[in-house]
Amino acid sequence: MPARTETLDGRTALILAAEQLFAEYGLHGASFRQISDAAKQKNGSAIQYHFGTRDRLVEAVFENRMQNINPRRLAMLEEIATAKDTQIRSLVSVLVWPLAEELRPRAEGNHYLQFLSRATREKQMVLKLAPWPLMSGWFQAIEALSGLISGLPELIIRQRLLIAADQCVSSLAMFEAEQVGQSPEFSLQVETLIDMITAALLAPVSFQGETEFKKLRAKPRA
């Protein structure tokens, strides 16, 4: 961990250390001892004292960033509503940009998107651990997107939105690992990602996709 961690309170230092080590080694690949050492905490039971369980520590890492990300997302949604903007791309921006802002350089380093990518794969954390108030903007944007692409079959809408969400997080995690936030091309890469997700959501269903959908629908339900 950076030297700055020494000046932080113990709980915050543990959260930042956990964010980095979970991003590098996975949610179960980093021991409590490794996290405590990285946070420069001499008390070996500091994590149990502050968080109790590993799941609660994971949730605390999530909350530490999302308490800033969600208000940004809600503000963007309010701007869209005020402008009566019904563009799918605008809603995709609501998903992407508040997370992309986390890639800008900061003293403790940038690890949150890699942590989030790991957590989503390993624990489906967005569904299981994330407190609803901190995800309200995300779910509002997803619901609005679902309404705008309502001409497609419900199953395909659901699949496309799940893939779009995964593409958002995994691509930003890759950008973070490559330190794109420090690059002059940062904004262009984020806007390109938004373009690609938008195009995928708007793409017509192919003949092959429609064929597979019809096969699935024709199967008798168990």
Condensed to tens digits (0 to 9), the pLDDT of residues 147-189 reads 999 889 999 999 999 999 999 999 999 999 999 999 999 999 9
> Which of 187, 180, 57 shows the shortest CA–CA distance to 125?
57
At 6, is the pLDDT very low, low, confident or very high (cuts 50, 70, 90)? very low
Contact 194, 136 (CB under 8 A): no
Classify the C-alpha dihedral 14-15-19-22 as positive or negative.
positive
Q: How far is Cα 92 from Cα 10, in angstroms, rounded to an integer?
A: 37
d(CA 163, CA 174): 16
Judged against a pLDDT cut of 80, whether residue 135 lies above it is answered with yes
Helix, strand, coil share of the chain (percent; to 5):
75, 0, 25
Percent of the chain clearing pLDDT 90 (strictly above): 80
pLDDT recorded at residue 126: 52
Q: Could you list the beta-strand ranges (E) of 119-219.
A: none
The CA distance from 120 to 8, in Å, is 28
C-alpha distances in angstroms, 62 versus 39, 125, 160?
Answer: 17, 9, 25
Tell me the C-alpha distance between 192 and 194, whole Å: 5
pTM of the predicted model as reported, rounded to 2 decimal places: 0.90
Among the listed ranges 43-47, 100-104, 166-170, which one has the minimum average pLDDT value?
A: 43-47
Structural domains for the chain: 3-203 (1.10.357.10)
The mean per-residue pLDDT over the stretch 197-213 comes to: 95
Q: What is the dihedral of CA 159, 86, 169, 12, to 10 degrees?
A: -130
Q: Quote the pLDDT of residue 3.
A: 39
